[in-house]
Structure 1
């Protein structure tokens, strides 16, 4: 017996294949390397739930302006959508009208292009990429010119699932050769390569739009926030097809927090970390007995050709590792998202590649108050990078001294109420730094725990530290000058008290000398050196430097 829905549904809907979203059954222990999400949580220090009792803005103006600024275009040249998928659907609903229209897709590519075109009852023309999955602009132009029914052309740059970078010159060659076709350049993964964006070109051409998303590089896949860049008139027409309230308030608030200037440095650091992991994993996984070929990638993933894929799938499933299988793209095709180092090591092990799995001592902190917004990332086992911006140049210099002499990487940005005075910024940054150090230390196994006297010209500074888990601060020293640059010297004892409290450490500082610049700097340098000794792994990495059995 045929149900009512089956009898009433449009034939185009009934003919659609199921949309491939992979197997996302609830499993809190699974390692999710299948959907090209960021492995990091969103950089949100406050509540994003404020205001959900009201309908959201029909067009979120602040978010649109923030995203337009991020991509270097005017606010009226950016249209906010519910992620990249919604932007693709919007294009198909606007420009495709039933079986007389067609969309062209360079295959293999993102399956949503064909899905949403077929959802409108339109045809799909598949234009094959070359043997290496690279775009051939002349072949694309010839194929589109040969079929006057084609109204939309989708170009994925870099391509998903294969990861190939796409030359912007090739895209513009196609755009200029096909003025009668609306062309989308999907830049969802552009942040993970070195290809220039086509955003500036899109606002100057009637037939080019650029897709952007916060799902990947900004770790907001669950918020569904993306958008289109293009001419104001084109976006105005597309906007007519949007629902009245396209984005939930929660998503808007989460995106605005993620796009704060104080968060930008950490996003860049996260991307650099993922790129370093991609470069590490690619040659290692190529040695797997299951891998036939690893393709170069400009995305946050790797595309693999595998052998005995069914056996590999059983092994990955047994280890709780989810990947995306793409046999339609290549024999034994597997797309592996780049995750954290620990997740990547687990995946390598499942592929039969042995790697040393030393624990990483890292931390990320997002701390927001009414007075400051702080984002911090540190790695105790790397000396670089160091990027610090608190709005107080001398304080930046002092914190850089701590990280440099402490031997750890530190990325830190703060937006504070400096128009009042530097107090809140200096205090809250010290709290965030101590919290990050404590988090990165974990259970403190293997550390030196104690640590330093340091001469600087006529000045002598001594910092004694015990990472005991018991906060205590003692400062001995006086300053004649009220400020060094824009830094109030009276804040120096307060900095070390804030560090002691948030790090849960005993910190004793003693400084004597004649030059207050030297005295302040010597305190911070000596603290960095004391940290270097205390943080250093010595002897057995699992040994706890305490007779109590805990710190």
Structure 2
């Protein structure tokens, strides 16, 4: 029995044979094979940096590692996913694979993402617009009714959350449309779903004959410049649609950037960033209601707000003068503006342009990644928030100690490490301390308006004293001895080393003295006292611009 994808595909696509470019060569020969098959230059380019490695070689048409990583991310098998140059490329691929010029049509809601119409027009396909219901909500019954008697509608696009209005579409409504239109491929664009609470239909798409889900790493994962996305569907549909792709669609640097971004050690930071963007979206939505020029604010499920303003031309002129770019969407609604959520500082500038006064203190935050041959670490700290706190080093006792530092220091810490624990814990412990200290130093910035100094702490029979000076000058002193070699998988000899690493990476003087009878208590007292010392030293003082030094510099 012929599948729906085979029946809907253009005859020219079905007649195409897959590119014979040794797609399975890496699996058959391994990465170290002598490559004399693709007429490549055997010498690498005269450029430097990790992304320049092997760039003289053609990339895999569908990079095995990246395809597997993205499939795991979305909960499907690799053969149900085709990697594309962003979700835009997936849209173009589908239209070219299934729509015959001058004959076939696509269906879209209105207003929605303009790329659907663009690629259809480019292919010579008709475009059927179905207006959204009141308040820009999606009506499954209305969508089906509008398309039931339309001939040759090959693709029907639904965007959830919708761009530009932010409306989320109930997955049950999408499945209702797919069931009612069994001869049409329903394409659900989930580009912004990471910022929503709506569940994905990726797993469902891999099982159904007429459902495709689009994903992108541009939004939630910060890879807009790398252009990495995918289409998820049943394996046969994926294989047919992929014939419309060029032979080597994905640049090697983009593949490597995506692989680094999707590393397990990075995921906690991505989730923290998403939470921050959602919190900022809610903050701006609440403040913009008070703007004298804003008529309405729609706070949906994306990383943006949909506004309607009184005088769009005047606002555009003002924003140009301030160097602020937004997206005006007059075709969506009168005075419509799509405002992307930026950093806190960028958002505060935007608020002022909309006539909203905001006296928030600059947030002291830092994020960094530290990759070596031994460890891959990602860390985020926020000195002005207590939560979240998530530490995953692979060493449970060390997780507990770093969590104690953040808890008693009263700051948010998200840290994850993928280290060579099969050798021992040394590299992971040391590198996590260096990464955390560096992040704290970055978050402190010029170190204005802080207490600078800080703490003695008893814990049962143990006593720890930690003296700290956020002076900009590293110096470490540790007085204390441990009888036990390990606490769990944590070597006690690393405790002194951890505080030296903190001192060096934070550019601070740290003096630690500990005594007692129980090594667990002594070690924990050191970390808790360090957190308490940090709490005093980083606490904002009355004069936020005061530099705590008579030298005028730290």
TM-score by length of 2: 0.91
Q: Counterpart in 2 of 1:197?
A: 200
Q: 1:323 aligns with which of 312, 315, 326?
A: 326
Q: Counterpart in 2 of 1:485?
A: 488
| Alignment map for 1:355-366 (pairs within 5 Å) | 355-366=358-369
| Alignment map for 1:177-256 (pairs within 5 Å) | 177-256=180-259
| Distance across 1 between alignment mates of 2:384 and 2:213 | 39
| Distance across 2 between alignment mates of 1:391 and 1:451 | 30
Report SS of the residue matched to 1:132.
helix
| Distance across 1 between alignment mates of 2:432 and 2:458 | 26
| Alignment map for 1:25-64 (pairs within 5 Å) | 47-64=50-67
| Distance across 2 between alignment mates of 1:278 and 1:307 | 21
Which runs of structure 1 show a deviation greater than 4 angstroms over 4 or more consecutive aligned residues?
none
| Alignment map for 1:86-235 (pairs within 5 Å) | 86-235=89-238
CA contact (8 A) 2:144 2:177 kept: yes
| Distance across 2 between alignment mates of 1:447 and 1:69 | 44
Report SS of the residue matched to 1:48.
helix
Unaligned runs of 5+ in 1: 1-45
CA contact (8 A) 2:194 2:220 kept: yes
CA contact (8 A) 2:113 2:164 kept: yes
TM-score by length of 1: 0.91
- How far residue 346 of structure 1 moved from its aligned partner, in angstroms, is 0.5
| Distance across 2 between alignment mates of 1:100 and 1:438 | 62
| Distance across 2 between alignment mates of 1:447 and 1:213 | 41
CA contact (8 A) 1:49 1:253 kept: no
- How far residue 289 of structure 1 moved from its aligned partner, in angstroms, is 1.3
Residue by residue over 1:209-245, the C-alpha shift from the partner in whole angstroms, topping out at 9 and shown as x without a partner, is 0000000000000000000111111101011111110
Q: 1:367 aligns with which of 349, 366, 370?
A: 370
Residue by residue over 1:309-347, the C-alpha shift from the partner in whole angstroms, topping out at 9 and shown as x without a partner, is 111111111111100000000000100000111111100
Q: Confirm or deny that 1:80 pairs with 2:105.
A: no
Q: Counterpart in 2 of 1:27?
A: none
Q: Confirm or deny that 1:65 pairs with 2:68.
A: yes
- How far residue 52 of structure 1 moved from its aligned partner, in angstroms, is 1.2
| Distance across 1 between alignment mates of 2:62 and 2:524 | 50
CA contact (8 A) 1:265 1:413 kept: yes
| Distance across 1 between alignment mates of 2:449 and 2:197 | 39
| Distance across 2 between alignment mates of 1:408 and 1:328 | 45
| Distance across 1 between alignment mates of 2:225 and 2:99 | 28
| Distance across 2 between alignment mates of 1:337 and 1:68 | 28
Q: Confirm or deny that 1:425 pairs with 2:428.
A: yes
Residue by residue over 1:43-70, the C-alpha shift from the partner in whole angstroms, topping out at 9 and shown as x without a partner, is xxx8333221211111111100000000
- How far residue 283 of structure 1 moved from its aligned partner, in angstroms, is 1.4
- How far residue 100 of structure 1 moved from its aligned partner, in angstroms, is 1.2
Q: 1:468 aligns with which of 468, 471, 479?
A: 471
| Distance across 2 between alignment mates of 1:270 and 1:92 | 33
Q: Counterpart in 2 of 1:512?
A: 515
CA contact (8 A) 1:282 1:294 kept: yes
Q: 1:332 aligns with which of 326, 331, 335?
A: 335
- How far residue 482 of structure 1 moved from its aligned partner, in angstroms, is 0.3
CA contact (8 A) 1:290 1:309 kept: no
| Distance across 2 between alignment mates of 1:340 and 1:256 | 25
Q: Counterpart in 2 of 1:33?
A: none
| Distance across 1 between alignment mates of 2:126 and 2:187 | 17
| Distance across 2 between alignment mates of 1:307 and 1:499 | 53
RMSD of the TM alignment (CA)? 0.8
Q: Counterpart in 1 of 2:295?
A: 292
| Distance across 1 between alignment mates of 2:105 and 2:201 | 24
Q: Counterpart in 1 of 2:23?
A: none
- How far residue 290 of structure 1 moved from its aligned partner, in angstroms, is 1.2
- How far residue 146 of structure 1 moved from its aligned partner, in angstroms, is 1.9
Q: Confirm or deny that 1:395 pairs with 2:406.
A: no
Report SS of the residue matched to 1:55.
coil
| Distance across 1 between alignment mates of 2:340 and 2:391 | 30
Unaligned runs of 5+ in 2: 1-48
| Distance across 2 between alignment mates of 1:200 and 1:544 | 55
| Distance across 2 between alignment mates of 1:242 and 1:295 | 37
CA contact (8 A) 2:306 2:338 kept: yes
Q: 1:438 aligns with which of 437, 441, 454?
A: 441
CA contact (8 A) 2:282 2:299 kept: no
CA contact (8 A) 1:342 1:357 kept: no
Residue by residue over 1:92-120, the C-alpha shift from the partner in whole angstroms, topping out at 9 and shown as x without a partner, is 00010011111110110000001101111
Residue by residue over 1:194-218, the C-alpha shift from the partner in whole angstroms, topping out at 9 and shown as x without a partner, is 0000011101111000000000000
| Distance across 1 between alignment mates of 2:109 and 2:356 | 34
Residue by residue over 1:243-290, the C-alpha shift from the partner in whole angstroms, topping out at 9 and shown as x without a partner, is 110100010000000000000000000000000000100011121111
Count of residues paired in the alignment: 506
